[in-house]
Structure 1
């Protein structure tokens, strides 16, 4: 389930969590075997060997959470994205799986139960054998959490209705900064420049360019084999943006921070944050 962008709701029917700046994953343990799945169904178990002990939580369980990589006590999305493309057998800095929901336990689906029941079930699980697992804390004062996350430079807050089943409209996200997931339609190798698009109906709208020199090797690996002869955008980008660019099928997703949108539908001052290997192209949409 994805949270809907909005304003911070208030009232006793809501609880609040930190919006972690990480990667959303389902941890599916069946017959004692773990599979870590992105929201698009991609299996990334091999990328996070430090989560192997999740099989000790229960022989059959489905957990929803977010993998985060902490740097100076604050999640770093860029460092996490790099791990996906260069998995290491013994990572120097282990990730933490911040779990916030349980959808199945001992073969019984429980996603239709209200959040407060699922949370109580989650808190009864014995997670002591998994040092890389943490329960995402819940809070009753959304405004105080909003202010605290702003001071720490964190991404924002998610509000959830206590009585909501999983998959309903009862999750609202409120962020301190603008971010947008885009599809790569062009790349200028050696210069690190990406030309970005966002789906608009059946077309791909050009939304601007961004400097991604920090991810040159990763982009080279991901874009290999998807080059095309012409731009994939509905309208060809300006000549200055397109000079020296190689065109690609829009199948690689990246995330950028930005300062809003121009009247022409371009991102204002986009800054590259990392590759979104957990996002499928059909999931990308304009986020405000």
Structure 2
């Protein structure tokens, strides 16, 4: 049984409040764990069944249950979630590859909410009561964990998150019920990184600006595509300038001389040197 998950609003910045609990944000992908009449199914937030990708999570609890959390690959050297590793697991479809990756890149289901248990719908209970029920569970194996939280001290937790290089923090109202939509009762604060980039082209069809940075030898190295951030004013200014610095084009892109620079925020650098989820902030004069 799938339940559409509760989604996060975005807080303007780190905050503390006595009516909130605060959790580190796990850098994986959302997972709904459903055990009904002993049958276990795993679902993404978009109701895609991903049970076969994570065989180590197909272990039963003591009764029927529906749980919400994140599936993550944790780097044993740092204790930090590796998003690219969990995406490798998620994208594996063939049984032999899944079995091989299960040993090389084991996942953990990090649980932060309980929605049903022993036939009872718990979603209208306050979050603190759901957390108490969750903490009383016996987990079925070492591939399961419960996300820790603290009360009130969000800014203190966020400083630790930054020091550890984690993805961010989530603040949740203690009395919040579980609703299947985006809600201000749950708010995320992302631990952004920042960079200055050259904008070296743009996509012809849907919006996208190509980015690059200077490598150690002073040459431009591509770093991905900006798809979010600029408003109508910035887009108009960009396209006004770009028409005079076109250096070439192909089927999908128009390429520019590297004369436009901008500041972006992004989640992290990927292992291949790309910006993960870059968001345009401003032009650099």
The aligned counterpart of 1:136 is 147
User: Would the alpha carbon gap of residues 269 and 58 (structure 1) be closer, same or farther in structure 2, given more than 3 Å must change?
Assistant: same
Local SS of the residue matching 2:155? helix
The aligned counterpart of 1:175 is 190
Contact 1:14 1:159 in 2 (8 A): yes
Q: CA deviation at 1:137?
A: 0.3
The aligned counterpart of 2:256 is none
Local SS of the residue matching 1:143? helix
Give the counterpart of 1:51 among 49, 52, 57: 57
Larger radius of gyration: 2
Separation of aligned partners in 2, 1:59 and 1:78:
33
Contact 2:73 2:82 in 1 (8 A): yes
1:85-100 paired onto structure 2 within 5 Å: 85-86=91-92, 87-89=97-99, 90-100=102-112
Separation of aligned partners in 2, 1:60 and 1:108:
9
Q: CA deviation at 1:35?
A: 1.1
Deviations 1:43-68 (Å, cap 9, x if unpaired)?
A: 11111111111xx2133111000011
Contact 1:69 1:75 in 2 (8 A): yes
Contact 1:67 1:96 in 2 (8 A): yes
The count of corresponding residues between Structure 1 and Structure 2 is 218
Q: CA deviation at 1:268?
A: 3.4
The aligned counterpart of 1:5 is 10
TM-score by length of 2: 0.66
Local SS of the residue matching 2:71? strand
Q: CA deviation at 1:83?
A: 1.4
Q: CA deviation at 1:82?
A: 1.3
Separation of aligned partners in 2, 1:69 and 1:142:
25
Separation of aligned partners in 1, 2:247 and 2:71:
35
Structure 1 unaligned residues grouped into runs of 5+:
180-193, 198-202, 214-234, 248-263, 275-283
Query: RMSD over aligned Cα, in angstroms?
Result: 3.5
TM-score by length of 1: 0.65
The aligned counterpart of 1:66 is 70
Local SS of the residue matching 1:160? strand
The answer to whether the aligner puts 1:205 opposite 2:207 as a matched pair is: yes
The answer to whether the aligner puts 1:42 opposite 2:48 as a matched pair is: yes
Separation of aligned partners in 2, 1:96 and 1:118:
21
Local SS of the residue matching 2:68? strand
Q: CA deviation at 1:126?
A: 1.3
The aligned counterpart of 1:268 is 264
